[in-house]
Amino acid sequence: MSDLQTMTFGKALNAGLRKAMADSDRVLLMGEDIGRLGGVFRVTEGLQAEFGERRVLDTPLAESGIVGTAIGLAMTGFRPVVEIQFDGFVFPAFDQITTQLAKLTNRHEGALSLPVVIRIPYGGHIGAVEHHQESPEAYFAHTPGLRVVSPSTPNDAYWMIQDAIASKDPVIFMEPKSRYWPKGEVDLSDRALPLHASRVVRRGTDVTLVGHGAMVTTLLQAAVLAEAEGTSCEVVDLRSLSPVDYGPILDSARSTGRVVVAQEAPGHASVGSEIAATVAERAFYSLEAPVLRVSGFDVPFPPAKLEGVYLPDADRVLEAVDRALAY
């Protein structure tokens, strides 16, 4: 029997963290201002009061030290969940993540597990300043030894954070910060999909639209506008960026014959590039047009007043749809 509740994406994450902490006393949270304050986005609000300061730790402002400490805790049997306050602040910890966290299990020939989750609020749409609206997911998806996921709905946020914590491998958990406030239905009794499964979120027949995180909302908006003009778009939510579940993507590509891949991140050497290349390679004889990409521009994220120019919107997606149909 389903147990449905309506909550914001941020509250769903909070509920998922609470459930994981209640289920195991080996789960602990670490990060800057996550305890008494509850985090910049209030995702951890109330958890320190409920579970205590030994399990919800306010750390110094030192990302490399936070992740290094989490690695040590994981080696002794804990399941630390690290919050990086904003996407642009992850880079001081980049060495720890890519040269230690990602490699230690392989270095120990599989004898050592590192169940560390690193939560990263990422992406634009909040009018923030420099270092607060990055999309660094490709760095981590490119790194062997890391799992990388990005939920787009409150239901996925609730279940995927729990599944990430339960994983024996390190997980980079990308949270689209512009989705923290919109509400959605959460089924507290049924997780529906595994952590690394992609999903068709809207059926269509003419063009396949593929994206992740906040971009899924943009793709759904574009699909509604396209339908008004007589074009039926199918929308696929990646959910997992490493590994990628290509089954639903390729099935859709072979059905529609046209694919547009969209993301907020710059396009060069990106997750979207990899999706486009793989679809072109594995569904070549079903395609009626080249796989097209829509992305942020290959420049540093601009000042807040220009983010509307930089970030792909429904119009830019529809432009790509029109180009795909023109072939």
Residue 73 shares a structural domain with residue 161:
yes
Considering 155, 187, 219, which residue would you say is the last residue of a domain? 187
Q: Helices then strands (H, E): number in the chain?
A: 12, 14
The answer to whether the CB of 66 falls within 8 A of the CB of 94 is: no
> Minimal CA–CA distance to 325: which of 287, 296, 295, 284?
287
| Residue-level pLDDT at 194 | 96
pLDDT per position as a tens digit, 173-207: 999 999 999 999 999 998 889 999 999 999 999 99
Q: Is the pLDDT of residue 125 over 90?
A: no
pLDDT per position as a tens digit, 206-217: 999 999 999 999
Residue 226 shares a structural domain with residue 121:
no
What's the chain's Rg over C-alpha atoms?
Answer: 19
Residue 178 shares a structural domain with residue 211:
no
Per-residue confidence band for 225, with pLDDT thresholds at 50, 70 and 90:
very high
Q: Which residue has the tokens 């690695």?
A: 71
pTM of the predicted structure, to 2 decimals = 0.96
Residue 122 shares a structural domain with residue 209:
no
Residue 194 lies in a domain: no
Residue 316 shares a structural domain with residue 252:
yes
| Residue-level pLDDT at 128 | 82
Per-residue confidence band for 1, with pLDDT thresholds at 50, 70 and 90:
low
Q: How many domains does the chain have?
A: 2
Three-class DSSP category at 90? coil
Catalytic residues: 132
Residue 167 shares a structural domain with residue 210:
no
Domain holding 274, by residue range, is 199-326
| Residue-level pLDDT at 58 | 97
* CATH code, 110: 3.40.50.970
Residue 182 shares a structural domain with residue 210:
no
Considering 143, 167, 187, which residue would you say is the last residue of a domain? 187
pLDDT per position as a tens digit, 98-121: 999 999 999 999 999 999 999 999
Residue 183 shares a structural domain with residue 204:
no
Residue 166 shares a structural domain with residue 259:
no
* CATH code, 208: 3.40.50.920
Residue 192 lies in a domain: no
Considering 187, 219, 239, which residue would you say is the last residue of a domain? 187
